[in-house]
Amino acid sequence: MLNILKRGKIDTAANAASLGAFIEGFSIEVMPRTAAKVEDFKALLPAGTRVYIAHIEGTPIEEMVETAKRLHEDSFPVMPHFPARIIKDKATLEDWIKRYQGEAGVDQALLLAGGVEKPVGDFHSSMQLMESGLFDQYGFKRLHVAGHPEGNKDIDKDGSTKNVDDAMLWKQAFSERTDAEMAIATQFAFDAKPIAAWAERLKSAGITLPIHVGVAGPAKLQTLIKFAVACGVGPSLKVLQKRAMDMSKLLLPYEPTEVVAELAAYKAANPDSLIEKVHFFPLGGIKTNANWASENA
């Protein structure tokens, strides 16, 4: 299954059709402060692009909802983050859901534990948010959950994948006993091989949730390395480190062409793979990322 990724670099020109098909329908992530710098999202993103809104600790819910409202009014499907560890209690969770629904027409969410080491209140995992029943109660139709192709040392401190694997099996079971449309949105990585191997491992374990692969958009190499270390990106960080040692590439901006082309070729060769879409982290700017996606679609 992974042979197509073991033969070295692929001919991206020969695979232009699969690359364009794979990029089509991509989603992208923004924060209130980055969204505020965008004059017109409709001029940047294809109609119907799902826009995730990252909720960083300390961001007022009012700013999150206002950003969601603006994007909704521009006819983009909006998917705000609900980081369990920064939500104080069930009443707060319900308040957020009601605000998003009532003020911004939101009916989908990304549920995750969040990068905070110590929970501020009652919740510490996305599973607790799902078990609250509030998303179903308020008519949220789509719930996405986080995926970690290279593991997560915050969850599995021993370096294994036991806890993240058990959690994914629980989420699969949840999807089977509820009406929610679900998918897995992953942390970004820089190497297609561990992503493909992880997707195959999930499928062999009985997971059927589609995977939306996280990809870092074009950015300065130093910026990417900083975010990759902060976000706990695993073995694929070596791709950036190797690039940083090449003086001819050190000052050139990174573009995700190679990793996306390899994933596209893998998907074309394995159409039954759980890998379904690309989710961009625009670490070098929303406009830069959107332009790259347009040029390569």
What band does 11 get if pLDDT is binned at 50, 70 and 90? very low
Position with higher pLDDT, 253 vs 168: 168
Whether the pLDDT of residue 58 is over 90: the answer is yes
pLDDT at 45: 98
**C-alpha span between 25 and 279 (Å, rounded):** 9
pLDDT, averaged across the chain = 88
pLDDT at 248: 46
pLDDT at 8: 40
> For the segment 223-272, what is each residue's pLDDT rounded down to a tens digit?
777 766 666 666 656 666 665 555 445 556 789 999 999 999 999 999 99
pLDDT at 227: 67
Three-state secondary structure call for residue 107: coil
Residue closest to 13 by CA, chosen among 271, 257, 280, 278 = 257
Q: Where are the domains of the chain?
A: 3-292
In CATH terms, 3-292 corresponds, of 3.20.20.220, 3.30.465.10, 3.30.70.100, 1.25.40.10, to 3.20.20.220
What band does 115 get if pLDDT is binned at 50, 70 and 90? confident
What band does 122 get if pLDDT is binned at 50, 70 and 90? very high
Least confident stretch, 80-84, 120-124, 242-246, 260-264:
242-246
Position with higher pLDDT, 158 vs 222: 222
Whether the pLDDT of residue 83 is over 80: the answer is yes
Whether the pLDDT of residue 13 is over 60: the answer is no
What band does 17 get if pLDDT is binned at 50, 70 and 90? confident
Pull the structure tokens for residue 152.
Answer: 């997560």
pLDDT at 155: 67
**C-alpha span between 222 and 82 (Å, rounded):** 29
pTM for this prediction: 0.89
> For the segment 183-205, what is each residue's pLDDT rounded down to a tens digit?
999 988 888 999 999 999 999 99
Q: Which range has the top average pLDDT, 161-175, 210-224, 248-262, 271-285?
A: 271-285
Q: Are 171 and 209 in contact (CB under 8 A)?
A: yes
Query: Which DSSP symbol is given to 159?
Result: S
Residue closest to 70 by CA, chosen among 95, 41, 34, 37 = 41
**C-alpha span between 45 and 25 (Å, rounded):** 10
